[in-house]
């Protein structure tokens, strides 16, 4: 087995699954294919993949339910494959923890590019530009080394990608970050003008951090520009 990234493909269309498997193996990935949600959950517990390609339309447990269960214990990347162009399907996938989605049919080389983009980790600030100490804003404590967040003395449960987004915003507290800034740092490519992944994650962060969804005061939307982490909005 090669030292390349490990991929789990969850796809009940055998022909499509074999096409994707072959293409990604030739591109250096170690690939396992399963055809249903229960098998996906079992496989993911046995051997944690670096990325999961998850079809939405599966026999038995659908892809949304599979993703929801995965996010109870799996913190790696999930890229949804959907034959539907419906915004509802795409937003639903992002809401329950998927990192991105691709609408089928898709060219293998395009899928490979999206997979590689999702798998890129954000560039961490150099030691000279950040401190090893946790970031503290009133009652909010963000510990990058431990990847933990505390608010009002209580642990806040965040996915890896939610933590990365919050940490990026907090590192730039008081500065408006455009969507292009955020996408470039966290995903390795600029904002395409249509992707809603960051908007969904901002919404989840606000909910988990006790921010008012209608009139947010902690992570503000600056219309026409981007998002602003407000450093003095986290209590004493």
pLDDT tens for each residue of 50-81: 999 999 889 888 888 898 888 888 888 899 98
Question: How many C-beta neighbours within 10 Å does residue 200 have?
Answer: 19
Q: Where are the domains of the chain?
A: 6-119, 135-229
Rounded to whole angstroms, the Cα distance separating 154 from 204 reads: 17
Q: Which pLDDT score is estimated for 132?
A: 53
Taking the whole predicted model, whether its pTM rises above 0.75 is answered as no
Strand order in the sheet with 154-155: 135-137, 140-143, 148-151, 154-155
Question: Could you report the per-residue pLDDT of 119-173, keeping only the tens digit for each?
Answer: 875 433 433 344 457 899 999 999 887 788 999 989 999 887 788 889 989 988 9
Q: Per the omega criterion (within 30 degrees of 0), is the bond before 140 cis?
A: no
Domain 135-229 belongs in CATH node 1.20.1440.230: no
Pick the CATH number of 6-119 from 3.40.50.2300, 3.30.43.10, 1.10.490.10, 3.30.420.10: 3.40.50.2300
């Amino acid at each position: 087995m090669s030292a390349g990234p490990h991929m789990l493909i969850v796809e009940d269309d055998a022909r499509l699954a074999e096409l994707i498997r072959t293409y990604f193996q030739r591109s250096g990935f170690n690939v396992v294919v399963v055809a249903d949600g229960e098998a996906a959950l079992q496989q993911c517990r046995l051997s944690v993949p670096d990325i999961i390609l998850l079809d939405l339309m599966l026999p038995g447990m659908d892809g949304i339910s599979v993703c929801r269960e995965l996010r109870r214990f799996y913190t790696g990347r999930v890229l949804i494959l959907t034959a539907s162009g419906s915004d509802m399907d795409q937003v639903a996938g992002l809401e329950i923890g998927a990192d991105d989605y691709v609408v089928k049919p898709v060219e293998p080389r395009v899928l490979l590019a999206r997979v590689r983009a999702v798998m890129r980790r954000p560039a961490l600030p150099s030691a000279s530009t950040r401190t090893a100490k946790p970031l503290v804003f009133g009652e909010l404590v963000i510990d990058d080394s431990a990847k933990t967040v505390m608010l009002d003395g209580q642990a806040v449960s965040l996915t890896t990608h939610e933590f990365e987004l919050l940490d990026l915003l907090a590192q730039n507290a008081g500065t408006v970050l455009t969507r292009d800034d955020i996408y470039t740092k966290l995903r390795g490519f600029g904002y395409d003008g249509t992707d809603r992944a960051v908007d969904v994650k901002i919404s989840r962060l606000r909910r988990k951090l006790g921010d008012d969804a209608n009139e947010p005061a902690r992570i503000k939307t600056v219309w026409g520009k981007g998002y602003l982490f407000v450093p003095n909005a986290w209590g004493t």
